[in-house]
Structure 1
Amino acid sequence: MAIDFDRKLRMAATALGCDSRKDLCARFRRVNPATACDVDRLNKWVQGRSVPRAASIYADFCAVIGSGKPGHWIAECSLEDFSAELAACTGIDATSLAAPDAMPSRGGAHGAGLLGGVGTLAGAFAAYSLAWSPHFRGRLIRGSLRLEARRNRALVATYAEALVGRTVRLSGEVQLDGRSMHVTVREPEGNMTLFFSLQVPGPPASVLSGIMSGVAFVAHESVPSACRIALVRVPETPRLDASNRYLEPLPGAIASDLSELGVSLTEADSFDAFSRTFLGESPLQVTTQQAAFASMLDRQYLDAAIPIRGQP
């Protein structure tokens, strides 16, 4: 009888540095080209929806982690015994082997190919973008972003803005794809969602830049929106969140804000001008009025779906 096999697989993936289920499956094929492990089966095992029936899978799993134990041992042992064996075979610290709740089907934020790993990206950033709300049109909004490297080598993003007298925080796990970073952040107890697609720089990762998209939060109607965003690394300080606010896009506004956050710029005026040019003058948005072209097509689709009585 297999005990906690799903958690053992996830622990092994962490210890071996597998970015995805596909990577872990490749490990099985490497030790046994004829293995009964494939991605579809592995998906079910990792999710705890089933366990392997073939005894050979457990023997292959022992070989994957480099253990000389028999297959039935790895199936029946406790998580504590498995963790100790895994640490002995891989050299990883046993305290870092808590099984993650899930394992991505594709690559995650493990920093493969990133000099310094995800720790290079961790830290606090002042976030500058265009305001989406029609009530604050033409202004900049200064938010904050924190990137936290977790023990399982995941990178978690928390984005914050000051909206309507309260601080809104949205979080999500970062996905790295080569030199690109993607993350969907959500409010834990609300419906707010944002998506970021950013370029990944090399060390010291002083600036992250890219696109932010979602729906305007402070608006009387749904307004899908997107804009450029610039994230500047700043010292960690409580003032970062406390000073989130709207800014007038005046010369010197961004440089002055960064100075108050402890960032001294040798070419403050040039950086400020470049930043405002980079952000642009208006976000890309779709209002309900602009979406009115749907009425040109609705009747055609309705007529096709609902035949009129009396017509042949």
Structure 2
Amino acid sequence: MRGEPGQADPAGAGCRADREELSRKLRLTALALGCATNKELCARFATVNPNTAFTAQNAYKWVGGKATPRLSSVYEDWARVLGEDLTASFVAAASFKEFAAAVQERHPLPEAALARLERDRVEGRAVPLDPATPAPEPRTQPLWQSNHLLCGGYLAMSYAWSRAETGNLILGRMEVEARPDGGLDASYTEKLFGRLVPMMGQVSGDGRAAQAVLRCSFSGRLYFLALQVPSPPANLVGGILVGSALHDPNARALAGRMLLVRDRSVGQLSGGLGYLPPDPARLDGEIARLGYADTPERQAASQALIDFLDRAPEVPMHQDVPQEAVLELAIAFDRLEVAAAPPVRIVTSR
């Protein structure tokens, strides 16, 4: 991770209509490719990208209409599975009718299959590819854990590991979401080499600390993230990231502090990605995009973030995250006001 310099995901969590549209597209793709189960469809995605995010767990959610992908790489893999002349943006943004027409041009697809998908849509059904795999039974009492305070979107910041970017911050995007079984999934994305580099894994914890092992789809390397579970409202999370630099002739083993600032903006995560000089004014601009109101306290908090990341550990042989320092920063962000959402503009055409 953390390489040399250099598109936001085409879909976020998605509304119900978006989830249903995605489900129909995936089931149509499975029919066109002759895949009878989610496992077979995952295998087709893996043939074009061994590190694809289209895993069995995600396939269950996406094909079942329960969620939409958060990573643009999913649509890139999808386009390659269907045909090299298709683009990720088309797969993500096309209507079902447009998508079906494009698939029919490239793969044999019986009209009866399209009719069945249309009938399912009218009747409001999302039929799983593999009916032999039962969905998790609904809980009478939803499982909640203190670790669920971590759920949400964050702007992640740390000092870059690349020798070419020494002294600069690197800003990434962290998403944490709960699974149906109560566990947590994490996805962390940086912009390196002119492209988005995602890392994904599961989060485990004991209520006070949380850990995740993230696998980088770009390199296949593993990165360990140790976090301190915050108290409500959990606007700031502190931790340590351990791994190795991507752009380094010796693949140095490194560890560094990381801070996560919760996104309070309306809509998809709006924080920037890439390298940034440790300039409080520049960083304050990124914090503003997260939905925090413009106040002197916010500007002071931005300076405190840089000071914390740059602070040398008390014991030189250990890179630690003092709980008191994280708490002090968290309180500073909890005191910040959230900016009012801009008025919704309704545009009509005639």
Normalised by the length of structure 2, the TM-score is 0.47
2:188 is matched with 159
Alignment of 1:142-221 (within 5 A): 142-188=171-217, 190-221=219-250
Letter in 2 for 1:185: L
Alignment of 1:56-75 (within 5 A): none
**Please, which of 65, 88, 92 is the counterpart of residue 139 of structure 2?**
92
1:279 is matched with 309
Alignment of 1:102-141 (within 5 A): 112=145, 114=146, 118-141=147-170
Give the Cα separation in 2 of the matches to 1:240 and 1:232.
12
- Secondary structure of the residue aligned to 2:164 is helix
- Secondary structure of the residue aligned to 1:249 is coil
Moved more, 179-188 or 263-272: 263-272
**Please, which of 279, 299, 317 is the counterpart of residue 269 of structure 1?**
299
The count of residues paired between Structure 1 and Structure 2 equals 181
- The alpha carbon displacement at 1:240 in A equals 3.6
- Secondary structure of the residue aligned to 2:246 is coil
1:47 is matched with none
- The alpha carbon displacement at 1:264 in A equals 2.3
- The alpha carbon displacement at 1:221 in A equals 2.2
**Structure of greater Rg:** 1
Normalised by the length of structure 1, the TM-score is 0.52
Letter in 2 for 1:168: V
Distance 1:282 1:256, change over 3 A: farther
Deviation string 1:240-296 (CA, Å, 9 cap, x unpaired) is: 47x3110001122221111123232531221011111100168999xxxxxxxxxxx
Give the Cα separation in 1 of the matches to 2:167 and 2:209.
29
Given that 2:149 and 2:230 are in contact with CA atoms closer than 8 Å, whether structure 1 keeps it comes out as: no
Distance 1:197 1:166, change over 3 A: same
Letter in 1 for 2:160: A
- Structure 1 consecutive aligned stretches of length 4 or more whose deviation exceeds 6 Å: 281-285
User: Does residue 257 of the first structure (1) align with residue 293 of the second (2)?
Assistant: no
Given that 2:172 and 2:273 are in contact with CA atoms closer than 8 Å, whether structure 1 keeps it comes out as: yes
Distance 1:120 1:168, change over 3 A: same
Distance 1:269 1:92, change over 3 A: closer
Moved more, 161-170 or 184-193: 184-193
- The alpha carbon displacement at 1:198 in A equals 0.8
Q: Higher relative contact order by CA 8 Å / sep ≥ 6: 1 or 2? A: 2
Distance 1:236 1:227, change over 3 A: farther
How many percent identity over aligned positions?
Answer: 31
Deviation string 1:148-201 (CA, Å, 9 cap, x unpaired) is: 111111100100000010100011110112300100100246413211111101
Q: Which runs of 5+ in 2 are unaligned?
A: 1-131, 318-350
Give the Cα separation in 1 of the matches to 2:311 and 2:148.
34
1:226 is matched with 255
Given that 1:130 and 1:282 are in contact with CA atoms closer than 8 Å, whether structure 2 keeps it comes out as: no
Given that 1:258 and 1:264 are in contact with CA atoms closer than 8 Å, whether structure 2 keeps it comes out as: no
Alignment of 1:18-33 (within 5 A): none
Measured on the aligned residues, the alpha-carbon RMSD in Å equals: 3.0
Distance 1:120 1:150, change over 3 A: same
Alignment of 1:227-242 (within 5 A): 227-234=256-263, 235=265, 237-238=267-268, 240=270
Distance 1:146 1:171, change over 3 A: same
